[in-house]
Amino acid sequence: MPPAEAAAKTWQQTKSEMTRTAILDAAIDCFYELGFANTTTENIARAAGVSRGAMLHHFPTRFDLIKAAVEHLAEARLASFADEQTRIQRGAEHSRIEEGIDAYWRQLNTPAFVVMQELRIASRTDKDLEQILAPALKAFNKAWYQAVQQIFPDLALSEAFIRTSFLTQYMLEGMAAARLGGGPKVPEKLMLDWLKRELRRSYQDVLTTVRRTT
């Protein structure tokens, strides 16, 4: 294949990937601004700045689009979590628990988490969405746990690691979800301070004796 033709193909591939990403980003934005139930493919195409034909080229059906958007959202959440936590822990002799908790809490108070909660609720009565979301959440939780093991290698050696990982995830996600329901205000600082103390207590078997390996 001539170099010019190869370069043109590469550009077309890059352009196609950019368009696809723009559509998926627009879908997530629409879910956040309009709600899942009120979002149409026309809304998404308009927000992405693409024609309906371009939308159909990448996603022939609404099911295809929603499935790709859910996977895109999960990948973005996981990448954001891993990137920030890795940055915080870089160079630490022992895992920085308090800073890690604060970073995770900040990430749960973002549109990405709100959209995931929106999808969870909508999937209760939308069978197509449930079919998409259930395996996506299962894959996300598995990947999240693997990421935590890699980012906190010293803590992963503790006998408390499995228990405290799930405690942290469910407690913080529950608190973040409670913010969305308009119910009684959660004493966030009180709970975050308790969690940090509990984690430090639970990890005494490794926290000051096992050095991080990464």
List, in order of start, the domains of the chain with CATH numbers.
Answer: 1-60 (1.10.10.60), 62-214 (1.10.357)
Q: Where is pLDDT greater, at 182 or 26?
A: 26
Helix, strand or coil, per DSSP, at residue 61: coil
pLDDT of residue 107: 95
What is d(CA 79, CA 2) in angstroms, rounded to the nearest whole number? Answer: 37
Mean pLDDT of the region 8-28:
87
What is d(CA 17, CA 63) in angstroms, rounded to the nearest whole number? Answer: 19
Confidence of residue 68 (pLDDT cuts 50, 70, 90): very high
Reported as a single tens digit per residue, the pLDDT across 161-212 is: 999 999 999 999 999 999 887 777 889 999 999 999 999 999 999 988 898 8
Instruction: Give the predicted TM-score (pTM) of the model.
Output: 0.87
Mean pLDDT of the region 136-158:
95
pLDDT of residue 3: 54
Structure tokens at 130: 């449930």
What is d(CA 85, CA 101) in angstroms, rounded to the nearest whole number? Answer: 9
Confidence of residue 7 (pLDDT cuts 50, 70, 90): low
* Cβ–Cβ under 8 Å, residues 95 and 154: yes
What is d(CA 25, CA 50) in angstroms, rounded to the nearest whole number? Answer: 12
Mean pLDDT of the region 150-170:
96
pLDDT of residue 146: 95
* Cβ–Cβ under 8 Å, residues 205 and 159: yes
pLDDT of residue 9: 63
Confidence of residue 2 (pLDDT cuts 50, 70, 90): low
Q: Where is pLDDT greater, at 16 or 72?
A: 72
